[in-house]
């Protein structure tokens, strides 16, 4: 009797080991959609928009006292105008929230500098050049980039870097540029624009 019980237990445990494990539910692999356009197209689209809105952006009174002839008014950044600037910039649909946040931070740094070193006349230190192309001649430089081909385009999965280098015969008024882009919501967006050596 004891042997039968042991044999029964042994048979039950052996058959349990032979059963196939229950099928595990597998989650479907999500494949990210390929972004529309290319990084260079995204840059071209943004700069085309910028060329059309450059005057409007630059005329926003982010430092109202700089537009006033009264040299007794101390310069200060008007952050309501900065938000208008950022909203207009965002309407380009070519830049990322990271870029907008970096711009907001830059205006805060300018305000901190104006507090530390009060200014009542002249151009506003740090805001006296084209913020995108790092030059005094923003309109000419915008046109130059629009008609130029990049020297280098490196794409890695959902990020890209596009570099523009100027030859001597191009008579560039600005530095070489590096555009960093990332895919967000299925589109290439500019995350940063930097001077490039």
User: Tell me, what DSSP letter sits at residue 126?
Assistant: T
Residue 184 pLDDT greater than 60, yes or no: yes
Q: Domain for residue 90, yes or no? A: yes
Q: How confident is the model at residue 4 (pLDDT cuts 50, 70, 90)?
A: very low
Task: Give per-residue pLDDT as tens, 58-97.
Answer: 889 999 998 887 778 899 999 999 999 999 999 999 999 9
When the pLDDT of each residue in the chain is averaged and rounded to a whole number, the result is: 84
Reading the block at residue 66, the tokens are: 């700089």
CATH assignment at residue 112: 3.10.450.50
Q: How many domains does the chain have?
A: 1
Task: Give per-residue pLDDT as tens, 109-161.
Answer: 999 999 999 999 888 888 988 888 998 888 899 999 999 999 999 999 899 99
Nearest to 162 by CA among 177, 179, 187: 179
- Alpha-carbon distance of 82 to 56, in angstroms, equals 13
Q: DSSP 3-state assignment of 130? A: strand
Domain with 75, as residue range(s), is 32-196
Please answer whether residues 109 and 72 qualify as being in contact, where contact means their C-beta atoms are separated by less than 8 angstroms: no
Q: Domain for residue 25, yes or no? A: no
Reading the block at residue 20, the tokens are: 């196939």
Specify the pTM.
Answer: 0.78
Q: DSSP 3-state assignment of 164? A: strand
Q: Domain for residue 13, yes or no? A: no
């Amino acid at each position: 009797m004891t042997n039968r019980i042991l044999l029964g237990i042994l048979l039950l445990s052996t058959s349990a080991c032979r059963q196939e494990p229950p099928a595990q539910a597998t989650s479907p692999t999500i494949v990210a959609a390929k972004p529309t356009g290319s990084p260079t197209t995204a840059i071209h689209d943004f700069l085309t928009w910028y060329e059309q809105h450059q005057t409007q952006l630059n005329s926003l009174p982010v430092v109202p006292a700089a537009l006033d002839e009264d040299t007794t008014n101390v310069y200060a950044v008007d952050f309501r105008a900065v938000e208008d600037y950022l909203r207009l910039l965002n309407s380009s649909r070519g830049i990322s929230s990271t870029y907008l946040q970096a711009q907001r931070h830059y205006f805060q740094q300018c305000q901190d500098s104006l507090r530390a070193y009060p200014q009542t006349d002249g151009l506003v230190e740090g805001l006296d050049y084209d913020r995108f192309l790092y030059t005094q001649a923003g309109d000419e430089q915008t046109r130059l980039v629009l008609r130029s081909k990049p020297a280098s385009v490196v794409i890695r999965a959902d990020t890209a870097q596009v570099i523009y280098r100027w030859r001597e015969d191009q008579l560039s008024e600005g530095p070489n540029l590096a555009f960093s882009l990332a895919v967000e919501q299925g589109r290439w967006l500019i995350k940063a624009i930097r001077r490039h050596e």
